Amino acid sequence: MEDVKQKPKPEDVCPGKKLDRAAVEEQLSRTSGPEYWRSLEELAGSSEFREMMHREFPKGASEWLDSVSRRGFLQLMGASLAMAGMTGCTRLPLEEIVPYVRQPEQVIPGRPMFYATAFTLGGYAQPLLVESHLGRPTKIEGNPLHPASLGATDLFAQASILAMYDPDRAQSVTHLGDMASWSEFAKQLRGPLVVQKALQGAGIRILTQTVSSPTFKDQMQSFLAMYPQAKWHVYEPVNRDNVLEGAKLAFGQPVETRYDFSQAAVILSLDADFMAAGSPGNVRYIRDFAAKRNPDADMSRLYVIESTPSPTGAKADHRLPVRASEVEGFSRSLASALGGSAAASANPGTAKFLAAVAADLAKHKGASLVIAGDHQPPAVHAIAHAMNAALGNVGKTVFYTDPVDANPVNQTESLRELVSDMRAGKVDLLVIVGGNPVYDAPADLGFEDALNNPKVAVRVYHGLYQNETAHLCHWNLNSTHYLEEWSDARAYDGTVSLVQPLIAPLYGGHSAHELISALMGSDATGYDIVRSYWQKQHTGADFEAFWRKTLNDGFVAGTAYAPKQLSAKAVAIPAAAAPDSAALEVNLRRDPSIYDGQFSNNGWLQELPKPMSKLTWDNAIQIGPKMADREGLQSMDVVTLELDGRKVTGPVWIQAGHPDHSVTVHLGYGRTRAGRAGTGAGFDAYPLRTTGALWIALGGKLTKTGDHYVLASTQGFQTMDIGDGETRPAVRQATLAEYRKEPRFAKEDEPPAELTLYPGFDYKKSPDAWGMTIDLNKCVGCNSCIVACQSENNIPVVGKDQTQRGRHMHWLRVDAYYQGDRDDPSAYFQPVPCQQCENAPCELVCPVGATVHSSEGLNDMVYNRCIGTRYCSNNCPYKVRRFNFLLFQDWETPQYKIMRNPDVTVRSRGVMEKCTYCVQRISEHRIDAETAAVRENRPFHVADGSIQTACQQSCPANAIEFGNINDAGSKVAKLKSLDRNYGLLADLNTRPRTTYLAEIRNPNPELET
């Protein structure tokens, strides 16, 4: 008894507890933001700390066996508390970030603040405003001041907030799998760097993704100056090598091509899905394109020659489905037709198409635009450049500028060089900054073998996740998310956006800037690095004002690249041999939802229905209907796809409009170390990808395995023809000529307004009556609204199994319908949120009054009251109601708790939910307007345009308008008075508040048969 009663000695309680307070403070003064208290000692770099970490409890804590040792416990508690409080006694360095509109002193709990920052994908920045509730970023919006955004975003930017809070992120520095610290890393790397210093850095290789950050470029230049023999390699699986090589072919130098769709009357896309999320400038391009689709003004015409069906093709007035490998031939014929010679094609229909396109383009010289797809070979790009030059579009709709990419090298070659250096033992220290080449490098390079090789003595991985690549590196450095770091990046037009942190790093990570800085022996913080770079750029005395304004606006004014005066060189573009028309073409494309795989652990994106197929959680081998018939394949049959002896196995999906003798596979799936959402979803198609054929390969072979694999699609029918000969006119459309002849064509079926014996509530008497219009002519099906809605309204992710059972929770869905020939259909998109019917069928049948109407015409859900009979959903003709069949919401993960929008209820199991028209935003602005009105003693009125629903705000096309329909001057009321305005299922007399503007296509009369 006596021995256990011994009082533990202080050293036992906390071994090596001679923590140098001064050292801690000194370290702390160099870090940013409040860190978890336990990292204090990590910072102090005490290795004893790690022992303590691994013990879980300090020595002595586990020896609390009887009453006497309780004193030991109290001492322990005291010590922990003192340590926990240490942050309180330490003065943290000042790093100012500037709110967008409101001054910091106006921080009001419950009122969000907005900070400008930028999200970067593929090197291109998307300028953002991020909503922050008391220091927690909760919602991403576009930066309305910035020309690349104008207030909208694409879906990747919208979803990036979930990545920041992802509990599967790398949460600490590890060395050989053991927990380590940043300072330890810096210390341990000093040795190798000293060795390399002597060799001028000959053994150092830095592999980054596409970078456009001027600061990073500057840092790399310093680094390369310090280690002249070191090399900077760049690789990203979704790279723009073809664009670059095409520019080199045409101009002899790498240039960036920028387009102005607002000036283009005739647009020709050569397999370019320029509206796809993630493609450079897509947000602005969609905005400009959509604005030119007004049938009451000058409406543009879009021709698309494309392989894999895409939203761009769906919006085309004329779409020509061809195999990707044949696009080059078509481009050549077209170019020669433009030059005057007859369009040559074996197929008379195609020849007619080409002739008509050429004529139309020629008719609109200077107001036309030819754009080539990133995956098309350089020759197609060069041809497009030549055509634009011939059409006089350069300087009018097409502009050439310096490349946005800070290091515009051929990335495939760059990676090949790195691999051969690694094989040759020339690489001693490899630092991989982001990316995942082990997973996504071209298969023929053998990157994994070259990396996982003792010749590469020190391998450092810096990234958000401990992914496949990180797993093979000695050091894993947890990176900061862009919402946690200082940086900068260029948008598609070259304008530099500043990236400022919204929150202190959740897991104490370090940014890439800090990493490069550390490699140069400095421990400067990201803030210092970025600020000092800009101090060098802006040397005036007004730097502080400049800095504040830049942070406030989110971008450095006047940094857009000026257009260059270039003319395409008239060099003969080497023609490729015509592709074998019977050989099976394999198209590898980045995924519309999870990109190259970097977003595969993002549940919002995994569950986001892909624009054309509405598939979730999986990729598929897409084939055309003709091929399916010929090969006897059904959707969800499992096949083996073989290409030059390399095989992948996956399910088939029959995609209407997909060309014959061609398959498309989306990359990014089949991850093995992605995290809870991404690991195991889909199959990996990268094994088919080689340096010679990154995007398009010929000679594939499809073999049926006889297995069956269930794919989760969220849409029941993808056609409005339901089989009985009837067409349900969900999307109403006409050609421009038809519309001019019969402008009110969409109005059929509408019953008289007052067809009732019982007069309803008179909404005209309400000060506000909310309504929405969705312009189908503008909507390009980009899905940005779905993710925005999910983020704004705390919508849960349900997983593949539940999605496949028809239980996905999106409040807003985008229906995609095909009409006509399955091999070459017209396609339409229709976003469907709650229609907020004035005669709501759901309200009548709820036994507990959980869904009721407000005086402003909103169909409100009272979650607390709902008992979950689902009668309302049965009776909803639009099927926009969503039910929590199980406990779908994650109530446990702490990260998600702080991510959610505090203005929106988090729903529980057994409760019905649906689109509310973002009632929280309506209330916020109503309260604001009322407060202001009371203060000024005047009747209050919510200004038109002050309320934006989340979907509306994120919409790049400006397709969604929301406002007060009682106010005849409001935008939405004006749109509702248009002839094209119609209500979905208005014949049921539901009197929906959400109405649609019918779609108008502008076909070329010459091609109308």
Partner 1 sequence: MADHLKQSAVVERAPVIEPGHSFATVTDKISSIVLTRPTTNGWIFGFAVSFLATMMMLFALGVLFLKGVGIWGINIPIGWGFAIVNFVWWIGIGHAGTLISAILLLLRQSWRNSINRFAEAMTLFAVACAGVFPGVHTGRPWLDYWMFPYPNTMNYWPQFRSPLIWDVFAVSTYFTVSLLFWFIGLIPDFGTLRDRAHNKYAQMIYGLLSMGWRGSARHWARYEMAYLLLAGLATPLVLSVHTVVSFDFAVGIVPGWHTTIFPPYFVAGAIYSGFAMVLMLAIPIRKIYNLEDFITDRHLQNSAKVMLATGWIVAYGYAIEAFTGWYGGNRYDAGLLYNRLHGPYAFWYYMLLLCNIGIPQLLWFRKMRTHPVFLFLISFVILVGMWLERFVIIVISLTRDFVPSSFGMYYPTKWDWMTYIGTIGMFLTAMFLFVRILPMISIFEIRQLLPEAKVEGKH
Please state the closest distance from residue 711 (CB atom) to partner 1, in A.
Answer: 14
Size of the site for partner 1 (CB under 8 A): 55
- Closest distance between partner 1 and the C-beta of residue 150, in Å? 30
Q: How far is the CB of 864 from partner 1 (least distance, A)?
A: 9
Q: How many other C-beta atoms can be found within 10 angstroms of the C-beta atom of residue 109?
A: 7
Rounded (to 5) percent helix, strand, coil in the chain: 30, 20, 50
CA distance 536 to 533: 5
By beta-carbon proximity to partner 1, the closer residue of 63 and 843 is: 843
Among 187, 197, 728, 740, binds partner 1 (CB under 8 A): 728
- Tell me the per-residue interface mask from 684 to 723 with partner 1, x by CB under 8 A, - otherwise: -------------------------------xxxxxx-xx
Query: Among candidates 183, 169, 212, 198, which has minimal Cα distance to 514?
Result: 183
State the Cα–Cα distance between residues 523 and 516, nearest whole angstrom.
Answer: 10
Instruction: Check residue 15 for interaction with partner 1 (CB under 8 A).
Output: no
The residue within the footprint of partner 1, chosen from 868, 895, 920, 944 (CB under 8 A), is 868
**Of 215-223, 236-244, 505-513, 846-854: span binding partner 1 (CB under 8 A):** 846-854
Asked if residue 199 lies in contact with residue 226, where contact means CB atoms within 8 angstroms, the answer is: no
Distance of alpha carbon 252 from alpha carbon 256, whole angstroms: 13
Residue among 56, 726, 762, 892 that touches partner 1 (CB under 8 A): 726
Rounded to an integer, what distance in angstroms lies between the CA atom of residue 466 and that of residue 470? 5
Secondary structure, 3-state, 346-397: CCHHHHHHHHHHHHHHHHCCCCEEEEECCCCCHHHHHHHHHHHHHCCCECCC
For 460, half-sphere exposure in the C-beta direction (CA atoms, 13 angstrom radius) is: 28
807, 925, 941, 974: which one contacts partner 1 (CB under 8 A)?
807
Q: Out of 878, 896, 982, 996, point to the residue binding partner 1 (CB under 8 A).
A: 878
Give the per-residue SS3 of 242-287: HHHHHHHHHHCCCCEEEECHHHCCEEEEECCCCCCCCCCCHHHHHH
Q: Min. distance of Cβ 879 from partner 1 in angstroms?
A: 4
Which residue, 344 or 886, is less far from partner 1 as judged by CB?
886
Report the alpha-carbon distance of residue 136 to residue 130 in Å, rounded: 10
Q: What are the residue ranges of helices labelled H in 402-492?
A: 411-423, 437-440, 447-451, 468-471
Q: Which is nearer to partner 1, 815 or 999 (CB)?
A: 815
In the bound state with partner 1, the residue whose beta carbon lies nearer, of 697 and 846, is: 846
Among 74, 101, 886, 968, contact with partner 1 (rule: CB under 8 A):
886
Q: What is the smallest separation between the CB atom of 987 and partner 1, expressed in angstroms?
A: 9
Q: Using the rule CB under 8 A, is 549 a contact of partner 1?
A: no
Does position 912 interact with partner 1 (CB under 8 A)? The reply is yes
C-alpha angle 979-985-989 in degrees, rounded to nearest 5: 95
**Biggest alpha carbon distance in the chain?**
106
> Which of 150, 702, 845, 943 is close enough to bind partner 1 by CB under 8 A?
845
Q: Quick one: which segment of 72-80, 294-302, 774-782, 910-918 binds partner 1 (CB under 8 A)? A: 910-918
Which among 570, 557, 576, 494 is positioned nearest to 255, based on CA atoms? 494
Q: How far apart are CA 484 and CA 504, in angstroms?
A: 6
Three-class SS of residue 893? coil
Cβ proximity to partner 1: between 456 and 842 the closer is 842
Cβ distance to partner 1 smaller for residue 848 or 932 = 848
Angle at 741 between CA 735 and CA 742, to 5 degrees: 85
Q: Is 99 in the site for partner 1 (CB under 8 A)?
A: no
Q: Return d(Cα 914, Cα 918) in angstroms, integer.
A: 10
Give the nearer residue to partner 1 in terms of CB position, either 384 or 837.
Answer: 837
Can you say how many angstroms the Cα of residue 305 is from the centroid of all Cα atoms in its chain?
Answer: 25
Work out which of 17, 870, 941, 971 binds partner 1, going by CB under 8 A. 870
- Tell me the C-alpha distance between 179 and 644, whole Å: 43
Q: According to the binding rule CB under 8 A, does residue 869 interact with partner 1?
A: yes
**Comparison of 655 and 1002: residue with beta carbon closer to partner 1:** 655
- The nearer residue to partner 1, 79 or 988, going by C-beta atoms, is 988
Binding partner 1 (rule: CB under 8 A), the pick from 647, 676, 708, 805 is 805
Residue that has been written with the tokens 């969705």 in this structure: 774
Residue range at the interface with partner 1 (CB under 8 A); choices 439-447, 585-593, 648-656, 866-874: 866-874
Report if residue 746 touches partner 1, rule: CB under 8 A: no
Q: What are phi and psi of 160, to 5 degrees?
A: -65, -20
Residue type at position 502? L
Beta-strand (E) ranges in 50-123? Answer: 113-121
Q: How far is the CB of 774 from partner 1 (least distance, A)?
A: 14
Identified binder of partner 1 from the candidate list 202, 885, 930, 946, rule CB under 8 A: 885
Give me the residues paired with residue 831 across strands.
Answer: 814
Q: Does 819 bind partner 1 (CB under 8 A)?
A: no
Residues 949-1008 that bind partner 1 (CB under 8 A): 984-985, 988
Query: Is residue 818 at the binding interface for partner 1, with CB under 8 A as the rule?
Result: no
3-state secondary structure of 189: helix
**Of these, 85, 820, 849, 945, which contacts partner 1 (CB under 8 A)?**
849
Looking at 335-343, 354-362, 908-916, 1000-1008, which segment touches partner 1 (CB under 8 A)? 908-916
Selected binder of partner 1 within 193, 911, 947, 1000 (CB under 8 A)? 911
- Nearest of 124, 766, 171, 864 to residue 466 by alpha carbon: 171
Beta strands 178-180 and 173-175, pairing class: antiparallel
Selected range binding partner 1 among 175-183, 575-583, 813-821, 929-937, rule: CB under 8 A: 813-821
- Choice between 513 and 810, CB closer to partner 1: 810
The count of residues in the chain is: 1009
Is residue 38 within 8 A of residue 52, CB to CB? The reply is no
User: With binding defined as CB under 8 A, does residue 865 bind partner 1?
Assistant: yes
Please give the Cα distance from 984 to 716 (Å, whole number). 17
**The only residue of 841, 895, 898, 943 in contact with partner 1, by rule CB under 8 A:** 841
From the list 133-141, 249-257, 325-333, 863-871, the region that binds partner 1 by CB under 8 A is: 863-871
CB 457 within 8 A of CB 523: no
Q: How distant is the alpha carbon of residue 477 from its chain centre?
A: 24
Least CB distance to partner 1 at residue 813 (A): 7
Q: Which residues make beta-bridge pairs with 1000?
A: 734
Site for partner 1 in 488-507 (CB under 8 A): none
Q: Is 909 a binder of partner 1 (CB under 8 A)?
A: yes
- The verdict on 751 binding partner 1 (CB under 8 A) reads no
> By CB under 8 A, is residue 747 in contact with partner 1?
no
With CB under 8 A as the contact rule, the residue among 93, 192, 877, 1003 that binds partner 1 is: 877
The window from 353-361, 503-511, 545-553, 844-852 that contacts partner 1 (CB under 8 A) reads 844-852
- C-alpha span between 263 and 483 (Å, rounded): 35
Of 637-676, which residues contact partner 1 (CB under 8 A)? none
Of positions 342, 887, 927, 932, contacts partner 1 by CB under 8 A = 887
CB-neighbour burial class of residue 763 (10 A; exposed 0-12, middle 13-18, buried 19+): buried
Contacts to partner 1 by CB under 8 A: 715-720, 722-724, 726, 728, 730, 802, 805-807, 813, 815, 817, 830, 832, 841, 844-849, 865-871, 873-875, 877-879, 881-887, 909-912, 984-985, 988
